[in-house]
Structure 1
Amino acid sequence: MGASAFSHFSTGMIVARNHDHIVYQLDPKDGQGTASVYAVMPGVEVISLSFQASRFIPTLHSKRNILELNHCQEGRAECKMKDGCLQYIGEGDLFMNTMSNHSDCIELPLGCYKGINITIDLEKLAEQLSDYLPDLPIDLQGMANRFFVNDECFFIQAKEEIQHIFCGMYSVPIEAKSTYFRLKVLEMLIYLYYFDIASETQKTIYARQQVDIIKQIQKRMTEDFERRFTIEELAQQYCISPTVLKTTFKGVYGVSIAAYMKEYRIRQAASMLHKTSKSIGDIALAVGYKSQSKFGAAFKEIYEMSPLEYRNQIRLN
């Protein structure tokens, strides 16, 4: 099995390769990332992705009859699909699509992403699947068609069964990855074969115009993070209803405005504790906390230690 049967990252530089996998060092916009591509069966590749960036260009395939499975372990991804809709993948979610409705660009609203992408050439795998599952005659094309009757993508929200399949794929030792990935792909196919499609409610699809407004609001709040904006104030300024503002923001960033800004402020404070000699009281004010005790409680909630303990630990390290 060749290590790269049909995957190629045009922005990537190959930094390692052997008979069954290739590791790309990627150069996405405003950051860095890696993609490790494993050929695990004829027509099947498992790609382990890790990014600290704002966006990246995914691998594209010349063949159309390819099924993609995308699982998110950490972070969040915004997929701009060919049909114009925006899909958001959060931690634990599984997103499925075909190459007839692929994403040309993936935005990372939280600036990071870690996940696994499985690409399946349905025709190529179908020729040999019975060798791997002799007692279960899975019709791959028929199975895929079930998921895309009404659309060319399908969303399975985070659930225990999905976590069970994917959790070990992120930690298995490198020498066992190809074999382990092969077993997990087969387990995934069996799971999808018996999956009750009617039981899975599909996530809301957000209009691009609304998402653009939400991103403007996020930019405004993070650029002026010491100030505390109200929902009503932002809604009025950007001509959007408070309800749409709240629901769309959570759809894009995965959390409420309050939770997002709380963590953003604390992350900024941690950077100041690390890079400056400002007092903890001054840093609390700089990130929008008039009460040092409330700042300390919020900081401990995220970092599991007080601001002083964090600064002392950084200095020791």
Structure 2
Amino acid sequence: MTAEPSLHPLGSGLELVPTSHEPQSGKDYTSDQEVRWCPGCGDYAVLKAVQSFLPDLGLRRENIVFVSGIGCSSRFPYYLDTFGMHSIHGRAPAIATGIAVSRPDLSVWVVTGDGDALSIGGNHLIHALRRNVNLTILLFNNRIYGLTKGQYSPTSEAGKVTKSTPVGSIDHPFNPVSLALGAEATFVARTIDSDRRHLTSVLAAAAAHRGAALVEIYQNCPIFNDGAFDDLRGPASDDRILRLEPGLDVTVGDRTWRHDPTAVDPSDQFALSRLEDPVPVGIFRQVERATYDDEAREQVASAVAASTATREERLAGLLNAGDTWTVV
């Protein structure tokens, strides 16, 4: 028996969900495909967290779509029993934008890596963020190109020795959180693959946000960049991590202020993103702003309404002109 759908408000739009359905679990979101990542890859932890978290959205699986680009993380759609698209290098945000604009009934997610999102895809990422498209973007950051076997990436630290930088990288790396705040994304957060509780709480907040949400996820590549974030894992990491909460007193240099993720001016949030010791994790920014896809649909609706009204006015004018009309 098929239940009548009802409108369910979620950050990524108004989703159609059944009014009654069987409780879901992570198994319902697990596909029949063999998961093929290297043993110990941080992608496993993120996949498990996402599979366990999706039932909490209260959506039907057919109202969720994951779009990915190219890279190890971009295999994600194969392993989730939802709709998905393994797209092309760096273009996942552009494709996801088209889906979000044309299908307000879908919860649209982007899964990308530090190479895919910040090199060839950098242009598409920043414009999706500044436009405030209803997307939840998960940016897996392992500071290396894993799929192509260990070249330095846009987030690799200066001096990094890799196959493509045998005497050390001379590039200055991107800070993805700073980049997103500079593009004035309305939701920006950072979490770590090994902290399941924190990861899940950040994902929940990102999914509930209406607008462009970017979550940077620190994760390990045991083959080509093992131990990249070891200093942020385990009990010994307490002194290295700053867990962000609203109202937390933050000191950067000679300034102290109270963290407010809802502040419209992102200046303090940006200053916070520049901290390296300790490393801030949690929600940097969470503000409300009109979304690109909502406004695009409103423009289309207004144009259609105006066209219909003009056509009806022309017809009324013809009928009132005193001529005789024969309908055949």
Q: Please report the TM-score for the alignment, with normalisation by the length of structure 1.
A: 0.25
More helix by share: 1
Specify which structure has the bigger relative contact order, considering alpha-carbon pairs within 8 angstroms and separated by 6 or more residues: 2
Structure showing greater Rg: 2
